A = this chain, B = another copy of it.
Amino acid sequence: MKVTPQLDLRARDEDFINLNPLQTGGRTYPETRKAVSSYVDGYSVCDWCAGDLCSITKPGVQGMLGEISEFLGMEESILTNGCREAKYIVMHTMCRPGDTIVVDGNAHYSTLVAAERAGLNVVKTGGNTKPEYKVTPQSYREAIEKAKKEAGKPPKLTVLTHVDGSYGNLADAKAVADISREYGMPLLLNTAYSSGRMPVDGKKLGADFIACSGHKSWAAGGGNIGMLSSTGEYSEKIFRKSAGFKIKPLEILGCSTRGAQTLALMASLPHVKERVKKWGEEVEKARKVAKEFGKIGIDAYGETPRNHDIIFCHSEKLYEISQTHKKKNYFLYRELKERGIMGIKAGLTKQFKISTYRLNDLQIRHVIDSFKDIMETLG
């Protein structure tokens, strides 16, 4: 039997402090792991299929989606294969090929790729420049006006990255929603890095659609999963059923996450509801790290003070060390790994991202001390 190469077991989140911003919010709980193990087989969630995934009551998928809508201050939610798939659904439903949408300058690549797949023109907001890279509501007004002028009509959709994955900036969603409404444009809020970590109330923020990443920020696991929530005005359109198969939501081809990840989300949800209440503590941790890093020659790009656990680090000093170190630019990765810390991309020294999410005080202390130690020993 030919063994597919490199199927090593993974223990990064068990054996190390993992700082990878992509992964800290998707770390599973013991209950999540139990649920995934139990529902590991293909189509396990369909034992008691009621016609479509989102209507299943045993296990309680339908009830969970109701809870999620309430939790997000929205009216209706469906499961999607991920956050990017949720964004594509909104674009594919609300726009026609050739239409224009307005997107923030810090948008994740998947927002732009989703727009490209849907055949849309994208006008990006400007002004989000070094070192804070802030996206301002005013820049949306300018981008919408620009798009209007170019196309001769208002763009079809506003997309805002609630918290971007590069700088961890928290955008003023309410202000962008107000501007969007002024132009009669619905707002899609990409909460891949916010909902599930911090409180998000779609009603208060004025979002028409909320795209969520279950495996990035809701501690879901096993496979990728997302959620798309909508408010009354657009729910019927976005969640429309197939003409031929009246119970099948068209945009998820009937059923999306037909596996263990649905149960993972379900098992993690009670934890998620609790953890967002402690968001203030998470922000404090990030601020503490940013402050301590600042003292040793690692600056944080993005807004000051920090409002999120992602920190974009910039350090000329670490780069200088790499120039003479025998491991070259891999020295930082190796030094950190020796100290039980992973998640910074191997080879990066001058600029890298970390996330302090869900680290405890001892771990935070260890991360700060480790960087200090590396800088002092090698710098």
Contacts of A10 in B (CB 8 A): 38-39, 44, 47
| The stretch of A109-117, A142-150, A201-209, A286-294 that contacts the partner chain | A109-117
| The stretch of A132-140, A216-224, A306-314 that contacts the partner chain | A216-224
A25 at the interface (CB under 8 A from B): yes
Copy tally for this chain in the complex stands at 2
**A75-91 near B? 1/0 per residue, CB < 8 Å:** 00000011011001000
B38 and A248: CB pair below 8 A? no
Count of A residues near B, CB < 8 Å? 90
A361 at the interface (CB under 8 A from B): no
Contacts of A116 in B (CB 8 A): 242-244, 250
Residues in A lying within 8 Å of B, measured CB to CB: 1-13, 20, 22-23, 25-28, 32-44, 46-47, 57-60, 63-64, 67, 81-82, 84-85, 88, 92, 109-110, 112-114, 116-117, 213-216, 219-225, 242-245, 248, 250-251, 253-254, 256-261, 263-264, 266-267, 269-271, 273-274
Tell me which of B12, B85, B114, B223 contacts A261 (CB under 8 A): B223
B216 and A42: CB pair below 8 A? yes
Contacts of A59 in B (CB 8 A): 6-8
Contacts of A44 in B (CB 8 A): 10, 12-13, 23, 221
What CA separation (Å) do A253 and B81 show in the bound complex?
Answer: 11
Contacts of A216 in B (CB 8 A): 42-43
B224 and A259: CB pair below 8 A? yes
